[in-house]
Amino acid sequence: MVAMPEPSPSPPALPCALCLNPSDADERNLVRCNVRRFRDQRFSVWRCARCRSLHCEPVQDLAAYYDGYPIRNQSLDYFSRAWYRIVLKRLVQAGLRRDSSVLDFGCNQGLFIQFLAENGYRDCKGYDPFVAQFSDRAVLADRYDFVVSLDVIEHDPSPDAFLRQLAGLLRPQGRLCVETPNAEGIDLQDPEEYLHALHVPYHVHILSKRALEGLAQQLGLATLATYDRWYMDARPPGTARRLFESLLRFGDNDIDAGYEPPRLGLFLAHPTLLFHLFFGYFLPAHKSDHMMLIFTPGHDQIS
SS (H, E, C) the chain: CCCCCCCCCCCCCCCCCCCCCCCCEEEEEEEECCCHHHCCCEEEEEEECCCCCEEECCCCCHHHHCCCCHHHHCCCCHHHHHHHHHHHHHHHHCCCCCCCCEEEECCCCCHHHHHHHHCCCCCEEEECCCCHHHCCHHHHHCCEEEEEEECCHHHCCCHHHHHHHHHCCEEEEEEEEEEEECHHHCCCCCCCCCHHHHCCCCCCEECCHHHHHHHHHHCCEEEEEEECCCCCCCCCCCCCHHHHHHHHHHCCCCHHHHHCCCCCHHHHHCCHHHHHHHHHHHCCCCCCCEEEEEEEECCCCCC
pLDDT at 1: 46
Query: 271 vs 6, which has greater pLDDT?
Result: 271
- Torsion sign across C-alpha atoms 194, 197, 201, 206: negative
Q: What's the pTM value of the predicted model, to 2 decimals?
A: 0.91
- pLDDT tens, position by position, 93-143: 999 999 999 999 999 999 999 999 999 999 999 999 989 999 999 999 999
What is the phi/psi pair of residue 80, to 5°?
A: -65, -35
- Please state which CATH number belongs to domain 71-184+206-232+289-297: 3.40.50.150
Residue 180 predicted with pLDDT over 50: yes
Least confident residue range of 23-27, 147-151, 173-177, 270-274: 23-27
Tell me, what's the pLDDT at 23? 59
Query: How far apart (Å, rounded) are the C-alpha atoms in residues 72 and 136?
Result: 19
Cis peptide bond N-terminal to 11, omega within 30: no
pLDDT class of 17 with cuts at 50, 70, 90: confident
Please report the pLDDT score of residue 212 as a whole number. Answer: 97
Is pLDDT at 285 greater than 90 in this prediction? Answer: no
Give strand pairing partners of 105.
127
Q: What backbone phi and psi angles, to 5 degrees, belong to 103? A: -120, 125
Q: Most distant CA pair in the chain: distance in Å?
A: 58
Q: What is the pLDDT of residues 192-215, one digit of tens each?
A: 999 999 999 999 999 999 999 999
**What percentage of the chain carries pLDDT values higher than 90?**
77
Q: Residue 11: pLDDT above 50?
A: no
The whole-number pLDDT of residue 26 equals 74
The ranges assigned to domains in the chain are 71-184+206-232+289-297, 241-282
At residue 16, does pLDDT exceed 90?
no
Torsion angles phi and psi, residue 62, rounded to 5 = -65, -30
Residue 170 pairs in a beta bridge with: 144
- Per-residue confidence band for 57, with pLDDT thresholds at 50, 70 and 90: very high
- Pairwise pLDDT comparison (286 vs 273), residue with the higher score: 273
Asked whether residue 2 carries a pLDDT value surpassing 60, the answer given is: no
Query: In this prediction, what percent of the chain has a pLDDT beyond 70?
Result: 91
* Triad 260, 261, 265: Cα angle to 5°: 120
Query: What pLDDT shows up at residue 261?
Result: 84
Summarised one tens digit per residue, pLDDT across range 212-260 is 999 999 999 999 999 999 999 999 999 999 999 999 999 899 999 988 8
- Residue 286's pLDDT band, with cuts at 50, 70 and 90, is low
Mean pLDDT value across the chain:
91
Confidence band, pLDDT 50/70/90 cuts, at residue 73: confident
Distance in angstroms (rounded) separating the CA atoms of residues 4 and 10:
17
Packed helices 241-250 and 272-279: angle between N→C axes, nearest 10 degrees = 160
